[in-house]
Structure 1
Amino acid sequence: MSRYTSRRTMFIPALVVLAACSAGGIGSGQASAKEFTVEAQTIPELKAVFGQVESRTVVPARARIGGTIREIAIIEGAEVKEGQIVGRVVDDKLAFETNAADAKIAALQSQLDNARIELDRAQQLLARGTGTQSRLDQAKTQFDVVVSQVAAAQADKAVIEQRAREGAILAPATGRVLTVPITLGSVILAGEEIARIASGQYYLRLFLPERHAAEIKTGGTVLIGGRGLSPVTSGTVATARPGRIARVYPQINGGRVVADVEVAGLGDYFVNERTLVWIPVGTRTVIAVPPAAVTMRHGVDYVRIATPDGPLDVAVILGETFQKDDGPRIEILTGLRNGDRVIMPDATP
């Protein structure tokens, strides 16, 4: 008896029955076949963790003057552009200050008109020989003083008007509104925060056990599952998309290593939303075959191999599915060994 027969004697009675009941087998002549030689290979050891979506920068939209909130133009989750008006603060005192400035300018304008008349009169008297140079100089000085006072009053009014315009609260950057911690009618001070805006690129933050600190490297590749926390929405390693470890923080807090992962397509995620991430923490040697080599009969997975005594169906236990350059592979936990020749079915008659 050969080593293949002794190793798998337990499967032969079942195989005889299955061969008798199955149509289109190897011996039927209805299908051709090719072989796949099993070779042990090294793959990354992946650990599943949850990554938390973060924004690279979060900036506050602040009030530039104190007053009362009269308008809120945004809500949580809204997209805003840089410079967009997100709210408005009104200071009732500015209206009174504007009226006072207008009255002061009007009074000075009257003084300016009178000084201009006095200057014209002094010039005319001096031209006729009845006036003096000192009176002309005095009238000109008075005119210049009032002109400067009018300019100063107009500048004061411009400052008040600018303060009124600064009641418009502007978005400091383009992004998504995270929080709006104020309500209409609230009284706020200059510099107080009225909204927080996530303006930077989104990334994933990972918190890993301290025992994996030596295996986490900047520039390493991780796999990110689909959006959601359930296995149905997160998917598997085979359907995950790649991401890159952009930063590993040098300080361990509470027995955890913190790392940041860059990945595209997080723009519609919520900040602080969690998603499944597979990260390599080592390597292991596995035996794997193409998924097409595995068939299931009566709830049991089988792989057909070539032996000196002829084809033999071997019951196997499957592990993880992973991707290789030449196609997907499925891990075989038990049933095969390195060097076995797997018979691949060919559907071409």
Structure 2
Amino acid sequence: MLKVIFFLAAVFAGAVARAEILELRPQAITEWKAVYGEVEPRDLIPARARIGGTVVDLDVTAGDMVTAGARVAVVVDDKLTFQRDAIDAQLGSLRTQLVTARADLLRGESLRERGVITVQRLEQLQTAVDVLDGQIKGAEAERLVIEQQVAEGAVLSPVAGVVLSVPVARGSVITPGEEVARIGGGGVFLRLALPERHAATLVVGDEIAIGTDGDGQTGRLAKVYPQIEGGRVLADVEVAGLDDRFVGRRVPVRLPVGTRQALLVPKDAVTHRAGLDFVTVETSTGAVQRAVVPGQETMRDGAVWLEILSGLRAGDKVVHGDE
């Protein structure tokens, strides 16, 4: 029996000799806070009406993709049509008067050569032609203004993207500047609203874990807004390949809010027996098994480590590896 015990002890001692010895030292680990971020478009711009009137055409609905400058709707103001018709009638009258005035000027020049009329009368005829010509040019300019206003009845998309909402309907009466459609474009990012106590810990460029377990996507903290409202600080996170099908979708996020000191051991150093966790510790009298309470897992240099909440202290020599 004693030979068997000595044999097992020798085997165990040999295994310890082949294993690695790790002297525990407190290590800094990152504190993570789980929050939710909302998917937001980079550019959220309303397509607004430039003139008031009635919506006669509505070319988009929520969810449609549009290009920059694409027509979203058409607004018509009947008063512009009446004003243009009035200017056209005025132009017709002025052009007829101009034809008569130019004919009078030609006759006057002929009579002046024969000495029938005075130079003063000839100048009056020339002035009449110049006045009518100026009036025609003024009326044509007014007509161009009306035509531009009519053209501005086309509501255009300010950016390329997706139509998020259309708050008007065909036949609606709207005023200048009123929103006809809301366009989201330029890609998407995550918008976070965090308690203000974490504002000082946020650093632009920090890596943000997307998901609840930290094993999924990662993002980069791109911007922290300086204004705090309602006890919340806003921050934007850039995430490559973020799903942009649903704006406003909530996504779980884990972000670093600080660091703390902890004792870490390799995961393979912890064994589980009879509902308890044990770690082998090298002492002056040999290797002993200590019951420990493990905490959360963390990744270090591509390996999984466990935080030890109790059962070990700094300076202990943990045996791990091939036992």
Tell me which residue corresponds to 2:201: 217
Tell me which residue corresponds to 1:11: none
Tell me which residue corresponds to 1:206: 193
Deviations 1:161-194 (A, max 9, x none): 0011000112344555432211122121222111
1:45 aligns with 2:28: no
Higher mean alpha-carbon deviation, 265-274 vs 135-144, is at 265-274
User: What secondary structure sits across from 1:104 in the alignment?
Assistant: helix
Q: Is the 8 A contact 1:223 1:277 kept in 2?
A: no
1:33 to 11, 16, 19: 19
Structure with the bigger percentage of strand: 2
Instruction: Find the aligned partners of 1:220 and 1:318 in 2 and give their Cα distance.
Output: 33
Q: How much has 1:121 moved relative to structure 2? A: 1.3
Match for 1:333: what amino acid?
Answer: L
Match for 2:296: what amino acid?
Answer: E
Q: How much has 1:288 moved relative to structure 2? A: 1.1
Higher mean alpha-carbon deviation, 262-271 vs 134-143, is at 262-271
2:50 to 64, 70, 78: 64
Change (3 A) 1:39 1:191: same
Q: TM-score, normalized by length of structure 2?
A: 0.77
Write out aligned runs for 1:168-187 (5 A).
168-173=154-159, 176-187=162-173
Match for 1:319: what amino acid?
Answer: G
Q: How much has 1:48 moved relative to structure 2? A: 2.1
Change (3 A) 1:314 1:65: same
Q: Is the 8 A contact 2:209 2:255 kept in 1?
A: no
Q: TM-score, normalized by length of structure 1?
A: 0.72
Change (3 A) 1:83 1:40: same
Match for 2:224: what amino acid?
Answer: R
Write out aligned runs for 1:1-349 (5 A).
33-54=19-40, 58-78=44-64, 80-173=66-159, 176-198=162-184, 202-208=189-195, 212=197, 216-219=200-203, 224-226=208-210, 234-237=211-214, 239=216, 241=218, 243-244=220-221, 246-247=223-224, 253=230, 257-265=231-239, 268-269=243-244, 270-294=246-270, 302-307=278-283, 311-312=287-288, 314=290, 316-324=292-300, 327-345=303-321
Q: How much has 1:64 moved relative to structure 2? A: 0.9
Instruction: Find the aligned partners of 1:150 and 1:248 in 2 and give their Cα distance.
Output: 57
Q: Is the 8 A contact 2:222 2:238 kept in 1?
A: no
Higher mean alpha-carbon deviation, 62-71 vs 42-51, is at 42-51
Give the share of equivalent positions with the same residue, in percent: 38
User: What secondary structure sits across from 1:244 in the alignment?
Assistant: strand
Deviations 1:265-306 (A, max 9, x none): 276444443332334455433211233444556876554444
CA RMSD, Structure 1 to Structure 2 (Å): 3.7
User: What secondary structure sits across from 1:237 in the alignment?
Assistant: coil
